[in-house]
Amino acid sequence: MAFDPEKLKNWSFPDIRHRYTARDAIIYALGVGLPLTQGDSEDLNFLLEDRLKVVPTFAVTLASPGMWVRTPELGIDWVKLLHAGQAASFETPLPAEAEVIGKARIKSLHDRGPEKGAICVVERRIEDAVSGTLYCTIDQTVIMRGNGGFGGDAPPKDAKPTPPDRAADLVETVNL
């Protein structure tokens, strides 16, 4: 089936429910390398159930819409996809255990031209399934190398990020 940019822009994702436990959050923390330094009591907050904090980036693993790009009626050449970026903004810390709902939508679709592909940004809101509290919003950027040249808007020129006017949250020194 041919690629249909209008169908993609208006694509309706089902809400995805996802339940996670303290064990899941701890395994994720270990998987990303915590504790960073031996004996760091602050890092232990991400590993011990009695005072568990959840690593914020754990949210990117929750309530994903899966391989929606393989949906035949969208006509996406999914074999030529390239994950180009991920950004997240956090509203409320994730609890140690919860059932969440992922609500995804196509945020933007930009044409890079024939033979250059398209850029698609999918926004996913992670909300508490009971209270509706918004935990975070995740933007996933995908380059669709096989789907350019449809005549859509060109990608915007991104502004350079400005670091916050405060001390760093974490400084790590690696001796080589």
Q: What pLDDT does residue 40 have?
A: 64
Taking the alpha carbons of 4, 10, 14, 19 in that order, is the dihedral positive or negative? positive
* 5-19+62-144: CATH class: alpha beta
pLDDT classification of 162: cutoffs 50, 70, 90 = confident
pLDDT classification of 39: cutoffs 50, 70, 90 = low
Nearest to 3 by CA among 114, 156, 83: 114
Tell me what the mean pLDDT of segment 80-98 comes to: 96
Q: What pLDDT does residue 148 have?
A: 94
Residue ranges covered by each domain of the chain? 5-19+62-144
- Measured CA to CA, the distance from residue 25 to residue 19 in angstroms comes to 11
Would you say 90 and 139 are in contact if contact means Cβ atoms under 8 Å apart? no
- Measured CA to CA, the distance from residue 91 to residue 62 in angstroms comes to 15
Would you say 35 and 98 are in contact if contact means Cβ atoms under 8 Å apart? no
Helix (H, G, I), strand (E, B) or coil at 17: strand
